[in-house]
Amino acid sequence: MLVMILHPDVQDKVHAELDTVVGRGTIPTFADRPRLPYLQAVLYEVMRWNPPASLGLPHATTTSDIYEGYYIPKGTIVLFNYWAMKDHGYDDPDRFDPTRHLTPDGQLSPESRQHNLIFYGFGKRVCPGRFFADHSIWAATAVIMSTLKFGKAKDSSGKYIEVEPIFPNGLISCPAPFSCSVTSRPVE
Question: How far is C-alpha 188 from the chain's CA centre?
Answer: 29
SS (H, E, C) 124-175: HHCCCCHHHHHHHHHHHHHHHHHHEEEECCECCCCCECCCCCCCCCCCECCC
Residue 174 annotated in ligand binding: no
Q: How far apart are CA 76 and CA 71, in angstroms?
A: 10
Burial (CB count within 10 angstroms: exposed 0-12, middle 13-18, buried 19+), residue 112 = buried
3-state secondary structure of 113: helix
Residue 119: closest CA among 41, 8, 45, 22: 45
Q: How far apart are CA 179 and CA 177, in angstroms?
A: 7
The residue type of 166 is I
Q: Which residues 6+ apart lie within 8 Å of 142 measured at CB?
A: 18, 27, 28, 32, 33, 36, 39
Query: Which residues sit in the known binding site?
Result: 127
Query: Which residues sit in the known binding site for heme?
Result: 127
